[in-house]
């Protein structure tokens, strides 16, 4: 009797030395000379369009001028007083479509100032040598606030509330704080445990107590929190994964891309991580690119991203799409997944239908093709898990939490922000802004402006 066919998924496809090189910092920081040269390219515009384009409103001309003047601590202060996660945002924010796109030097004859790299230069300098506290807490207000979710929105909210003199209890379901910054970003973007080092700086302001492995709906309930605390902020993120909606989703080799990325981020030995030889990633966002590129960096021979529309509709920026191609990832557009293929109970490939736009509607052309694959990573979006809020009376909209412009919900003591809030763009930097705005609103509700 012949042995059952096994998928070509294994660990150790590359040597430890090659893996270490592949997962080093993808974009090394500027040195002092490079940073000064780049800072001097800035026109220090009055009413700068780059600042308007920044979701957190960082005074970009001021921090760049301070870099040019050799005042890195002052530059970091200008960044962090508006964005306490400015170091991480410098690494992962799509600056090419935000501040740098708005830069007045961004013309056919010139290139924009590298704002993201300069922001990283200043914040990295501070974390390497924090010195005396950059910010000092206000006098204690006697008010207690629960922040549920230690991702970008929750961390930003907790930091601002602590600065305003409130006592904050920060709860998170995961073993470590950080949310997306800790578990959801490509390893090569955040080397040297940067997420936790930045969080340690953020928490050093005082007034914030972190409680990990505490999940809403399991270890606590919203009505309990509103009874115990003066206010509650929900930065719950998106805990659900959208399914492909195909038969055979129990086949070995099919998994959510977010799980793969989280596993990589927590790995201590890349050589122990398995990867397929031929990998297909379904989706068009940043998660799809991160999963695809890291599959290549683990040693996959062939990696293909398949997206149902054209490149201009992809959630991943043009910069990210180019990065994927530079790393040997093929991107196939105008194709929708139709069926998982298997041999002897083992994933062997996928069938796709060709798509096109007709009068603004996406339709199938009738043509089909297949791609061989022993690993398929689904990256077609995440969803808000509302089960933890059952019977709470919290109003939802479009499957997420409905809020006003400042994050207030229909419940008088509850605010929300980040990806779980309806109407956002699912950007780390926007989640930070949600946390800031909600903190100001909470403070005003508790003690006045």
pLDDT digit string (tens) for 36-85? 999 999 999 999 999 999 999 999 999 999 999 999 999 999 999 999 99
Q: Do domains 144-239+384-447 and 241-381 have the same CATH topology?
A: yes
What are the start-end ranges of the E strands in 293-390? Answer: 302-306, 329-332, 335-343, 346-358, 361-372, 375-378, 382-383
Topology of the domain covering 241-381: FAD/NAD(P)-binding domain (3.50.50)
Angle between helices 72-80 and 115-128 (to 10 degrees): 110
3.40.50.720, 3.40.190.10, 1.10.1060.10, 1.20.1270.10: CATH of 32-128: 1.10.1060.10
Percent over 70 (pLDDT), the chain? 98
CB 171 within 8 A of CB 214: yes
Domain regions of the chain by residue span: 32-128, 144-239+384-447, 241-381
pLDDT above 60: residue 6? no
Distance CA 71, CA 414 (A): 40
CATH code linked to domain 144-239+384-447: 3.50.50.60
The gap from C-alpha 103 to its chain's centroid, in whole angstroms, comes to 24
- CB-side neighbour CA atoms (13 Å) of 70: 0
CA angle 301–304–306, rounded 5-degree value: 165
- What average pLDDT score do residues 138-155 get? 98
pLDDT digit string (tens) for 184-207? 999 999 999 999 999 999 999 999
Distance CA 27, CA 172 (A): 30
The pairing of strands 346-358 and 335-343 is antiparallel
Confidence of residue 259 (pLDDT cuts 50, 70, 90): very high
Record the pTM. 0.94
Confidence of residue 449 (pLDDT cuts 50, 70, 90): low
The pairing of strands 375-378 and 278-282 is parallel
Length of the chain: 449
151-178 b/e with 16+ CB inside 10 Å = b? bbbbbbbbbbbbbbbbbbbbbbbbebbb
């Amino acid at each position: 009797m012949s042995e059952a066919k096994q998928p070509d998924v294994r660990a150790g496809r590359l040597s430890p030395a090659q893996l270490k090189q592949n997962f080093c910092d993808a974009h090394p920081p500027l040195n002092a000379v490079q940073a000064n040269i780049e800072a001097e390219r800035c026109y220090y515009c009055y009413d700068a369009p780059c600042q308007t384009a920044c979701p957190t409103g960082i005074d970009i001309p001021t921090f760049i001028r301070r870099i040019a003047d050799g005042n890195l601590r002052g530059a970091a202060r200008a960044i962090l007083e508006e964005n306490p996660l400015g170091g991480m945002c410098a690494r992962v924010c799509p600056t090419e479509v935000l501040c740098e796109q708005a830069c007045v030097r961004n013309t056919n004859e010139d290139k924009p100032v590298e704002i993201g790299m300069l922001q990283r230069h200043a914040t990295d300098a501070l974390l390497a040598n924090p010195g005396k506290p950059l910010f000092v807490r206000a006098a204690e207000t006697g008010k207690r606030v629960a922040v549920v979710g230690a991702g970008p929105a929750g961390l930003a909210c907790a930091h601002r509330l602590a600065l305003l003199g409130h006592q904050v209890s920060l709860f998170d379901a995961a073993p470590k704080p950080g949310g997306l910054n800790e578990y959801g970003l490509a390893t090569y973007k955040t080397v040297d445990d940067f997420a936790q080092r930045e969080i340690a700086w953020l928490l050093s302001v005082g007034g914030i107590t972190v409680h990990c492995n505490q999940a809403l709906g399991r270890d606590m309930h919203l009505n309990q929190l509103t009874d115990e605390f003066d206010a509650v902020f929900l930065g719950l993120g998106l805990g659900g994964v959208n399914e492909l909606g195909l038969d055979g989703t129990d086949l070995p080799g099919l998994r959510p891309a977010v799980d793969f990325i989280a596993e990589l981020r927590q790995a201590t030995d890349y050589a122990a991580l398995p990867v397929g030889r031929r990998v297909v990633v379904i989706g068009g966002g940043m998660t799809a690119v991160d999963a695809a590129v890291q599959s290549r960096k683990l040693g996959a021979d062939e990696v293909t991203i398949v997206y149902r529309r054209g490149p201009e509709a992809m959630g991943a920026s043009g910069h990210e799409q180019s990065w994927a191609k530079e790393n040997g990832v093929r991107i196939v557009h105008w194709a929708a997944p139709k069926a998982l293929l298997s041999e002897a109970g083992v994933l062997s490939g996928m069938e796709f239908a060709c798509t096109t736009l007709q009068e603004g509607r996406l339709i199938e052309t009738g043509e089909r093709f297949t791609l061989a694959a022993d690993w398929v990573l689904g990256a077609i979006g995440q969803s808000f898990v509302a089960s933890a809020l059952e019977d709470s009376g919290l109003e939802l909209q479009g499957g997420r939490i409905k809020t006003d412009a400042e994050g207030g919900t229909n419940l008088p003591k509850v605010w929300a922000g980040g990806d779980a809030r309806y109407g956002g763009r699912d950007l780390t930097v926007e989640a930070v802004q949600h946390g800031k705005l909600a903190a100001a609103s909470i403070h005003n509700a508790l003690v006045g402006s």
